[in-house]
Structure formats: C-alpha cells, structure tokens
Amino acid sequence: MKHKPRLQKNRSSSNFSEKSQAYLHIHAHALFSSLGRLVRNPFTSAMTIMVMAITISLASGFYLFVVNLQQLTGNVESTNQISLFLKSTVSEKAAKKLAYKISAKNKIETVKFISKDQALEEFKAYSGFGDALNVLDINPLPAVIQVLPKNTLDDIQSIESLMAELSQLYQVDFAQLDMQWIKRLQSMMQLMQRGVFLLTLLLSFAVLFITGNTIRLELQNRRDEVLIAKLVGATHSFIQRPFLYTGFWLGILSGLVAWTIVTIMMIILQGPIERLSGLYDGAFDVSYLGFIETVILMGIAAFLGVLGAWGVLHYQLKQIKPE
C-alpha cells in the first residue's frame, strides 16, 4: 500500500459529480432500505400502520361527515317561526284580538300581526310586482300572525303540537312551520367544524406519538448499528436519515390506508345519505375525499410521520453514546 496523498486529494475535490451522485445514492438507499425494513417485518409494520390509519381515518371521516352535513343544511334556508294565515273573512279587529290572545299563551315568546294591507305593501316592496298589483281591485293576500315559540320548546314535537293547536283555531286558514332546528343545526355545524379541528389536532398528536414510539423501538433494535456508525464518523443527519424515511413511509402508507377506509365507509353510507338527500328534493350529492383533500391528507400523514420520527431522534440519538 503506497501512500499517495496528492492523488487522493485530487480525487476527492475534483470529482464533484461523483460526490453528489453518492449523496443522492445515500438518500435513495435510505428511502428504499427503510421501506424494505418495513416489508421485512410485515406484522409489526401492519399493526403500526393500521393504528395510525384508523386514527387518521377518524379525523378525516368526521371531517367528511361534517362537509356532507354542511351541504345538507346549506340548501335549506329557513327561520324559526310559525306563520298563521288567517281566513279572509276575519276582520282586522278580530285578527288583532286573536293575536293578542295567542301572545298571552305561555308557550309563546312573541307574536307579530301583519294585516292584509301591510302584507300587500311588503309584497309590493319585495316581489317587484308592485304595478301589476295596482290593477287588482281587491287585496288577495291574507292577514298573517307570526308566532315565535319560546326557546324552551326546543324539540320539533312540541313545536309541531303547538302548531297543530294553533291551526285548530277557526280563524286560521292554515299554519306553516318554519323549522328552527335548521338554524340550530347550522350553529351546531359551526360547533362541529370546531370539533373537527380539535379532534384532528388531538388525533395528529396521537399519530405523532405512535410514529415516535415506533421509531424509538426501531432505534433500540438498531442501537449497535447506530453506535458503530457514530464511531466511524457518521454525522447526526446521516444516522437519522433512514429513520426519518421510515417515519415518512409509515405516514404515507397509513394515509393511504386511511383514505381507503374513509372511501369504503362513504360507499357504505351512500345509500342512506341519498335517501336523506331525497327528502330534501335531492339537493345534494354525497361528497367523497376529493383530489386536493386526498393530497392534503397524504401530505399531513407523511409530515406527521417524519415529525414524530424527528422528535424522537432529536432526543434519543444524543443519548446513544459509544462506550
């Protein structure tokens, strides 16, 4: 073995392309060897990935549920009150008296009387048929009593029974219920959106901890390897690279499985959702995870995998010291 320092120096400094190739090679090797490790321990890997996938699918499934529900409620616009349309034979005085009588009931919050004339004015103002209506000799609109039930009546049944009671009145032509539950549902939706956010946050931490723990075990299994690599001059980033790739694979694979779980669940739910949709005049289609949502799901899953691995490596690699 002859020592040739000059030749050696030339080789290492001039051959930049070979060095960068070597760097890419190290990355590619870490990428595929970490996948290979997962494949070689199929049982352990599958269990980890399933736990992560179920966690992720909980968050994304709930998200999808809310998205669909939002579509449902978004299409129904309504307020909360019962409108009593009075018979045309009822005089304005009698109608006002009736309104007062109704407002005295203890289930009622407020009552608003709209006379025939007021109704006509309103109709002229909002409908755009003002001039056409002038042609008419008589006012075709009925007088209306708008009844706002008390907030304590928060279930549909009691509101409906109140409506039934009011429609029994002989002055009332017919009663119409403007369902307040839609309004409530809407605010419930806002609550649920926030719920989805919190749940996602919480489950993200779960994914972080699962990956972290898996990487920690992997690190323990490969302790000797890490020690020897350190002793022959491996840098921190060289040692952690394959582990980060393991985290990446765990993340992306569980994202993929989660996507499948959610899609299968949506297929199962499609029938009932469509029947429900039919009740709303087929106002919406079932939403699945779209392309962008899928990309985001995968991205977050992969990111959480890498982050979980990185967090553990950051602390544990320092503790593995050659002795």
For residue 120, give Cα distances in angstroms to 32, 127, 133, 169.
76, 10, 9, 24
Instruction: Output 30 or 53, the one with its CB closest to other proteins.
Output: 30
When binding is defined by CB under 8 A, the residue of 18, 154, 274, 285 that contacts other proteins is 18
CB of 46 to other proteins, least distance (A): 22
Total interface residues for other proteins by CB under 8 A: 29
Which stretch, 12-20, 71-79, 119-127, 282-290, contacts other proteins (CB under 8 A)?
Answer: 12-20
**Type and span of the H or E element at 122:** helix 116-127
Count of other CB atoms within 10 angstroms of residue 260: 12
Cβ contact 269:227 at 8 Å: no
Q: Which residues pair with 72 in a beta bridge?
A: none
> Which one, 15 or 161, has the nearer CB to other proteins?
15
Nearest to 245 by CA among 26, 40, 21, 53: 26
Measured from the CB atom, the residue of 22 and 267 that comes closer to other proteins is 22
Place of tokens 């723990």: 213
HSE-up (13 A, CA, CB side) for residue 208: 15
Q: Does 233 bind other proteins (CB under 8 A)?
A: yes
Q: The tokens of 42 are what?
A: 């199929």
The interface with other proteins within residues 170-229 (CB under 8 A) comprises: 224-225, 227-229
- Token pair, residue 49, equals 């990935």
Q: Does 2 bind other proteins (CB under 8 A)?
A: yes
Closest distance between other proteins and the C-beta of residue 31, in Å?
15
* Closest distance to other proteins from the beta carbon of 243 (Å): 15
Using CB under 8 A as the criterion, which residues of the chain lie in contact with other proteins when the complex forms? 1-3, 8, 11, 15, 18-19, 21-23, 25-26, 224-225, 227-236, 238, 321-323
